[in-house]
Every structure is written in C-alpha cells, then in structure tokens.
Amino acid sequence: MCSYVMKLSELLKLVDGVVLVGNDERNIDDIEIEKVAASDLMSDVLALPEPGSLLVTGLATPQCVRTAAVVGTPVVLVVRNRDIMPETKIAAETSGVILCVTKKGMYEVCGLLYEAGLKGAFMERD
C-alpha cells in the first residue's frame, strides 16, 4: 500500500468527526495526517511514539491528551460519542492538541482510515 497523507478536514468528514478544541488556533485544512495510532492504553502510545500521527482512542480523560502532547501527536480523536470531561478540554487547550470526537466506534474508524490509505503508527521497528 502506498503512503497516503490526508488533510484533517477530509479525515473528519470521512469519520463524521467534529473538532471540540483547537479549531481556532490552526486551520484543519492545513494539518496533514499520514499515520494513525489506535489505543486505549496510553502506555502503548508512550512506548512507540509516532510524532505527527493521529491518536484514535475511547478514552475521554485528560491523560489521553497529555500523552498525545508528550509524544508529539497533534490530534486526538475520541470514538463512541463519549462525553468529554471539561478537564480534558482544558488539557487540550493548554497543550495545543486538537481534540475531536466521533459517534463511530474504534473498529469502524480504523477500518475507514485504513481503507483510505493511512498507515498504522505502531509499525514494527527493525
């Protein structure tokens, strides 16, 4: 499969996602996503950082945003239409991470993004 880069605005349209925090600071048409990490275990995200990738998670806590900021992930997409805690929105605002949400489940979101040509972020290392 060829490497494909998708604008965040296209990605959100594909997964029926909306931006909750971060649309004011940066234009979502300017952000490009090439790799996707999907995990509810933030220890996995910390162990295999992929700066510049999208984090898809079912966690709606500030820890997912803080973890994304530590590893250089600019966008977090929370799946399953979770209620986002106010603390999570504050963490996104202070860290500069774009926080998005979709009603779709993780399996469906990952399938759509894979089908669109995006690569997985947790690839085996040599």
User: What does the domain layout of the chain look like in residue ranges?
Assistant: 6-119
Q: What percent of the chain has pLDDT over 70?
A: 91
Lowest-pLDDT range, 54-58, 61-65, 105-109, 119-123?
119-123
Q: What is the pTM of this model?
A: 0.91
* N-to-C CA span, the chain: 19
Check pLDDT > 60 for residue 35: yes
Check pLDDT > 80 for residue 40: yes
The string of pLDDT tens digits covering residues 54-68 is 999 999 999 999 999
Q: What percent of the chain has pLDDT over 90?
A: 71
Which segments within 14-125 are labelled E, that is strand?
17-21, 32-33, 35-38, 54-57, 75-78, 98-102, 119-120
Domain 6-119 annotated CATH 3.20.20.60: no
Q: Which residue has the higher pLDDT, 21 or 25?
A: 21
| 22-26: long-range contacts, CB 8 A cutoff, minimum separation 24 | 22/75, 22/92, 22/93, 22/96, 22/97, 22/98, 22/99, 23/98, 25/96, 26/98
